[in-house]
C-alpha cells in the first residue's frame, strides 16, 4: 500500500528519520511521519516550553498521541510522557546537556508503527565546573526562604553569584539582594509568605548565575512544602500540682491550625537521657512525678504530613526546670566523714585513757633497777672522768692508796691493845 505524500523533511538533520521512512515504504509497512518544527523557549527562569508541529497526512482513524523523553547528559529520565498536546513544559538544566525527543503514535492501531524519534538539544553555557553547587533551601516558619550554596570547583575566588527566584503569582523574576558569604558558604534570604489559609503552594524556581558568561548558570525547582522548618516554640511554662506537671507553650502565629505537632522531652535530674512524648496541641500534662526530684523540659515542633511533606523540625526550645533535687553530695560526704571522725575519736580516746591510767596508777619502781642505775652511773662517771682528765685520775689513786694505808694502820693499832689486855 502506497504511503501518502509527505512534506519535505530536513534530511541533513534527520537522516535517521528519512532512512526509517524509506525502509518502511520499501517494505510496504505503514510508518507514521515524525513531528516537525521541534523547538523550545523559556517561559520563566528555569522553565522550558518544548513545542512541535504534527505530522502531515494523518489518517482520520488514527488516535494521534505524542511520546516524549527528556535526556540529561545522554541518560534518559524515567519520565516518559504520552499526550495529545503538542508541547511539554519541563525544568531547565542549564549546567548540563539537555535534549528532548518526541515521536508520533497512533493508539489502538495495530496497522501502523510509531514514527522515528526527532530531537533537539539545549547545550550548557560557560566553563564546566564554575556553576554553584550544593544548593539547598529552607522555608523558615512559612515566612522567609534561606538558600545556601558553594562555589564551583573551577570558579575563581572573585565569582559573584546572584540568586533570582520566581513562582506562580510573580509577574517577573525577583533578585535576592540579602546575600552574604561566610567561610566559602553563600547564603541569600528572601521573603516567601502566603495567607495563613493557603492549602496549596506553587513551585519556586531558583536561578544562580554570575554576570560573566564564563560562569555556568544553574537552575533548580523546589517544592516549598518539602522545605518547611517551624520556628522554635517559645514561652515555655511549667506548673506543678501535687504529683503532676503541666507544660504549655505558645502557638505558632504563621502556621494554619492543626498543621503542627510537638515533641516534649523531659529528664529527671541532670541526666541528658530522658523520655519524649508527642502532643497534638501546645500543652501536655505528666502525672506520677517524684515530688523530691527536679525535672527539666524542652519542646520542638514538627510539620504534619497532612499539610506539608517536610522532614525538617524546629530546634529545641530553651530548657526549663521545676522542682528541687536533693543534693546527694551531702550524703556522700556524711558517709565518708562520720566513720572517719569516729575512728579518729577512738584513737584519741585510747591514747588519753592510757595516759590517765599512768597518772592514776603509776608503776612501782624495782629497787634492783634503781641500784643498778645508781652504781652504773657512778662507774660511768668515774670512768668518764678518768678518761677526760688522766692527771686527776692519778691523784685520786694516790689519795685512795693513802686512805687505804691509814685504814690499815688504824686497824693494826686497834688490834695491839687487845692483845696486851689479854
Q: Which residue has the cell 554570575?
A: 210
pLDDT on residue 8: 37
pLDDT on residue 237: 93
pTM of the shown model: 0.67
Q: Taking the domain 30-122, which CATH number applies?
A: 2.60.40.10
pLDDT on residue 87: 94
pLDDT on residue 379: 57
Q: Residue by residue, what is the 3-state secondary structure of the chain?
A: CCCCCCCCCCCCCCHHHHHHHHHHHHHCCEECCCCEEEEEEEEECCEEEEEEECCCCCCCCCEEEEEEEEEECCEECCCCEEECCCEEEEECCCCCCEEEEEEEEEECCCCEECCCCEEEEECCCCECCCCCEEEEEEEECCCEEEEEEECCCCCCCCCCCEEEEEEECECCCEECCEEEEECCEEEEEEECCCCCCCCCCCCEEEEEECCCCCECCEEEEECHHHCEECCCCCCCEEEEECCEEEEECCCCCCCCCCCEEEEEEEEECCCCCCEEEEECCCEEEEECCCCCCCEEEEEEEEECCCCCCCCCCCCCCCCEEECCCCCHHHHHHHHHHHHHHHHHHHHHHHHHHHHHHHHHCCCCCCHHHHHHHHHHHHHHHHHHHHHHCHHHHHHHHHHHHHHHHHHHHHHHHHHHHHHHHC
Domain 230-322 has CATH 2.60.40.10: yes
Looking at the chain, the whole-number percentage of residues with pLDDT higher than 70 is: 76
Residue 39, all three cell numbers = 523547538
pLDDT on residue 31: 84
Computed over every residue of the chain, the mean pLDDT equals 81
Read off the pLDDT of residues 282-324 as tens digits, 9 standing for 90 and up: 999 988 888 778 889 999 999 999 999 999 999 999 999 887 7
Comma-separated ranges of CATH 2.60.40.10 domains in the chain: 30-122, 133-228, 230-322
Read off the pLDDT of residues 190-232 as tens digits, 9 standing for 90 and up: 999 998 878 889 999 999 999 899 999 999 999 999 999 999 9
Do 107 and 157 contact (CB within 8 A), yes or no? no
Do 248 and 331 contact (CB within 8 A), yes or no? no
Give mean pLDDT in consecutive 10-residue pieces for the chain, a chain of 422 residues.
Answer: 34 41 49 91 91 87 90 89 92 91 86 88 92 96 96 92 93 93 94 87 94 92 95 92 90 90 87 83 88 88 94 94 69 79 85 73 69 63 52 55 54 48 44
For the 133-228 domain, the top CATH level (class) is mainly beta
pLDDT on residue 357: 67
CA nearest neighbour of 201 among 309, 304, 93: 309
Amino acid at each position: 500500500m502506497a504511503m501518502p505524500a509527505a512534506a519535505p523533511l530536513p534530511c541533513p538533520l534527520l537522516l535517521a528519520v528519512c532512512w526509517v521512512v524509506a525502509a518502511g515504504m520499501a517494505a510496504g509497512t505503514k510508518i507514521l511521519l515524525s513531528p516537525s518544527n521541534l523547538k523550545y523557549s523559556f517561559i520563566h527562569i528555569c522553565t522550558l516550553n518544548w513545542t512541535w508541529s504534527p505530522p502531515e497526512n494523518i489518517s482520520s482513524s488514527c488516535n494521534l498521541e505524542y511520546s516524549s523523553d527528556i535526556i540529561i547528559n545522554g541518560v534518559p529520565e524515567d519520565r516518559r510522557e504520552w499526550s495529545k498536546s503538542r508541547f511539554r513544559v519541563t525544568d531547565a538544566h542549564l549546567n548540563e546537556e539537555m535534549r528532548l525527543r518526541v515521536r508520533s503514535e497512533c493508539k489502538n492501531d495495530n496497522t501502523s508503527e510509531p514514527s522515528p524519534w526527532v530531537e533537539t538539544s539545549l547545550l550548557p553555557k560557560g566553563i564546566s565546573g564554575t556553576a554553584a553547587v550544593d544548593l539547598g533551601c529552607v522555608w523558615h516558619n512559612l515566612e522567609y526562604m534561606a538558600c545556601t550554596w558553594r562555589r564551583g570547583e573551577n570558579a575563581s575566588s572573585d565569582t559573584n553569584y546572584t540568586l533570582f527566584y520566581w513562582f506562580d503569582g510573580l509577574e517577573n523574576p525577583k533578585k535576592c539582594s540579602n546575600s552574604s558569604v561566610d567561610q566559602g558558604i553563600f547564603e541569600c534570604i528572601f521573603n516567601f509568605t502566603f495567607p495563613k489559609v493557603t492549602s496549596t503552594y506553587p513551585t519556586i524556581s531558583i536561578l544562580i548565575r554570575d554576570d560573566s558568561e564564563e560562569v555556568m548558570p544553574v537552575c533548580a525547582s523546589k517544592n516549598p512544602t518539602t522545605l518547611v522548618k517551624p520556628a522554635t516554640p517559645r514561652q515555655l511554662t511549667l506548673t506543678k500540682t501535687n504529683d503532676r506537671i503541666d507544660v504549655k507553650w505558645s502557638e505558632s502565629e504563621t502556621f494554619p491550625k492543626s498543621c503542627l505537632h510537638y515533641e516534649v522531652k523531659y529528664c529527671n535530674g541532670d541526666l541528658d537521657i530522658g523520655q519524649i512524648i508527642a502532643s497534638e496541641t501546645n500543652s501536655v500534662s505528666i502525672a506520677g512525678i517524684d515530688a523530691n526530684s527536679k525535672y527539666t523540659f524542652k519542646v520542638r515542633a514538627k510539620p504534619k504530613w497532612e499539610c506539608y511533606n517536610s522532614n525538617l523540625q524546629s530546634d529545641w526550645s530553651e530548657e526549663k526546670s521545676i522542682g528541687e533535687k536533693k543534693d546527694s553530695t551531702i550524703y556522700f560526704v556524711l558517709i565518708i566523714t562520720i566513720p572517719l571522725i569516729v575512728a579518729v575519736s577512738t584513737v584519741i580516746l585510747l591514747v588519753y585513757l592510757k595516759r590517765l591510767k599512768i597518772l592514776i596508777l603509776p608503776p612501782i619502781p624495782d629497787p634492783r633497777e634503781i641500784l643498778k642505775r645508781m652504781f652504773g652511773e657512778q662507774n660511768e662517771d668515774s670512768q668518764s672522768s678518768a678518761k677526760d682528765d688522766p692527771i686527776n685520775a692519778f691523784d685520786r689513786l694516790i689519795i685512795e692508796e693513802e686512805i687505804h694505808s691509814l685504814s690499815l694502820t688504824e686497824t693494826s693499832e686497834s688490834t695491839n691493845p687487845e692483845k696486851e689486855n689479854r
